[in-house]
Structure 1
Amino acid sequence: MTLSEQTSTPTAGIDAEAGLPLTTEPIAAPLRDRSSERSGWRVFLAKPSTRVFLPIILFFTVVSIFGPFFVGDPITAGYPELLPPGSPGHPLGTDQLGRDFLARLVNGGRVSLLVGFSVALLCMTIGLVVGGLAGYYGGVMDAIMVKLAEYFQVLPGLVLALVVASLFGANVFFIVIILAITMWPGVARIVRAESMRVSKLGYVESSKAAGFRGARIIWSDVVPNVMPPVLVATTMTVGRAILIESGLSYLGIGDPSRPSWGALLNSAQSYMRDGWWLAVLPGACIVLVVLSINMLGDGLNDSFNPTVGRVK
């Protein structure tokens, strides 16, 4: 046998019973198909609703992040009376104390969006940890995590916010924590259901057979494949958090030193007749942001779950 023949069949052997050459080839582990995920993002970005509402969210986000550096002081009172929009030096007028309303609106947007995205990020993080552990391991771990989620799900967020505000004072940090504590179970339920499904797929079973630890499998295989529905749920959480925070601020539970759009609505109650812009402008901002986020969430759901809601 020549050297080339020896190197061409390195794993060749002889079957003792049949007398035939037996070759063994390495078996490739099943690979995850990322094409459907990429296709979902392409469908989402091509939707007309995405092209309309995504720029709106980006506009409010950019203005809320960088706008306070270019507008005036939202606290300094420059005039003792209301000034209508279009007044010299005040494009959106002033409030009842003579404070520039454009500066207060921009800074209020920073607080509202900060609360919304912070709550959504915390809910997604807690939901991935709790739901991923419950769905992957099952059994006793699943029962413990489900009971934990049910406990936090029944907590009344508004009452809890009132109690915390009375004990520690109204603060944006406490509002974010309270909203995250009461809203994460919804995300965890979706993560748990998806983790139970993904943990039965071939590449996860191959990782288990290869001897990888559960934490590594959850992080590298389970979590990336449950993210599309989790992102949809997280997107909806942003809108809910903004609405709830606006409602709390409207009731006077918000941080008085950092007023949000809801706090601006609260302070405009007594001036609806003489200063209509004090209520219309922050209310329009809340409506546009929440509507855009919900429409983008629906677009994500339709893109990654095209069969949901379809008539068969």
Structure 2
Amino acid sequence: MRSFARRFLRNLPAAAGAAWVLGMILVCALVPWLAASDPLRVGGDAFAPPGAAYWFGTDNQGRDIWSGILHGAQVSLAVGFLAAITSSSIGVAVGAAAGFHGGWVDSFLMRVTELFQIMPRFFLALIIISLFGAGIGKVIFVIGVLSWPPTARLIRAEFLTLKHRDFIEAARATGIGDLTLCFRQILPNAMAPAVVAGSLDIAQAILLEASLSFFGLGDPNLISWGTMLYNAQGYLRQGWWLSIFPGAAIFLAVLAFNLVGDGINEALNPRLRESQG
């Protein structure tokens, strides 16, 4: 564990990404103190530029952009983490079943995986949310259900490799059941790629939620960075800050999680960095 931490922290972009992620989580926990005003409260000065009174300015209805960014971080990060947990859970289950059992089970599950993988995820999510209505729970569920194939493929590959290793054959020879062998022996050793994929899934979920909200399919009762961009569409000339700050928040969050994912991958696979160097 210590060697992993040392390798990860030596990767400066990954360390910077991790610091930004931890900073966002800390900000989300301190939102009631950092931005006490309701981001949906209408009033105040409309189109007030960034300054001492309003650090990030206000929108066309006088809503505080700073407060919106901080409260939006809670929604965007919650969507990212919960959608990633959903997609990782499905991907690990499918990949483990395919890799462990092989044969027709593997063939069937991989065909299902390929079917989900070739679907245009954004447009499919757009159609589903349009048909069944916006809501934060629906958005999380749809993103998670549509994002699991890469994780499934990674876990399957790990299972196919690990199940023929000597220590697995030795454990099998002791007479332990398939479920015990799968969950206690193989799965813990196959989870490293899933951790990397999970970090990247968080970034993709944040971006996908922002894209859906930008098209007006976000939860109208919550503020998110994508919703702020949607509200700013008609006022780009009157107030540049309406779109710049939420856009920058999305960009930095997605970049940070991608850097963390790449850093975890390189720390778990030191030879990868050497081959790239």
Shorter-chain TM-score tier: over 0.9
| Cα distance in 2 for residues equivalent to 1:213 and 1:154 | 36
Cα 1:87–1:40 change in 2 (3 A) is closer
Q: 1:98 aligns with which of 62, 83, 100?
A: 62
> SS at 1:307's partner residue?
helix
Cα offset, 1:46, TM superposition: 3.2
Larger gyration radius, structure 1 or structure 2: 1
Q: How many residues align?
A: 275
Aligned to 1:227: 191
Q: 2:109 aligns with which of 142, 145, 148?
A: 145
| Cα distance in 2 for residues equivalent to 1:162 and 1:114 | 20
Asked whether the 8 Å contact 1:49–1:295 carries over to 2, the reply is yes
Task: Detail structure 1 runs of 4+ shifted over 4 Å in the superposition.
Answer: none
Cα offset, 1:87, TM superposition: 4.4
Aligned to 2:51: 86
> SS at 1:131's partner residue?
helix
Letter in 2 for 1:74: P
> SS at 2:271's partner residue?
coil
| Cα distance in 1 for residues equivalent to 2:32 and 2:132 | 28
Letter in 2 for 1:221: Q
Q: Percent identity?
A: 37
Unaligned runs of 5+ residues in structure 2 are none
Report 1:260-299 matches (<5 A): 260-299=224-263
Letter in 1 for 2:63: R
Aligned to 1:76: 41
Cα offset, 1:161, TM superposition: 2.5
| Cα distance in 2 for residues equivalent to 1:160 and 1:50 | 32
Asked whether the 8 Å contact 1:87–1:93 carries over to 2, the reply is no
Cα offset, 1:80, TM superposition: 5.2
Q: 2:161 aligns with which of 197, 203, 211?
A: 197
Aligned to 1:214: 178
> SS at 1:204's partner residue?
helix
> SS at 2:148's partner residue?
helix
| Cα distance in 2 for residues equivalent to 1:121 and 1:294 | 16
Q: Which structure carries more helix by proportion?
A: 2
The alignment yields a C-alpha RMSD, in angstroms, of 1.9
Cα offset, 1:233, TM superposition: 1.3
Unaligned runs of 5+ residues in structure 1 are 1-36
Report 1:1-312 matches (<5 A): 39-68=3-32, 70-71=34-35, 72-79=37-44, 81-88=46-53, 90-308=54-272, 310=275
Cα 1:171–1:69 change in 2 (3 A) is farther
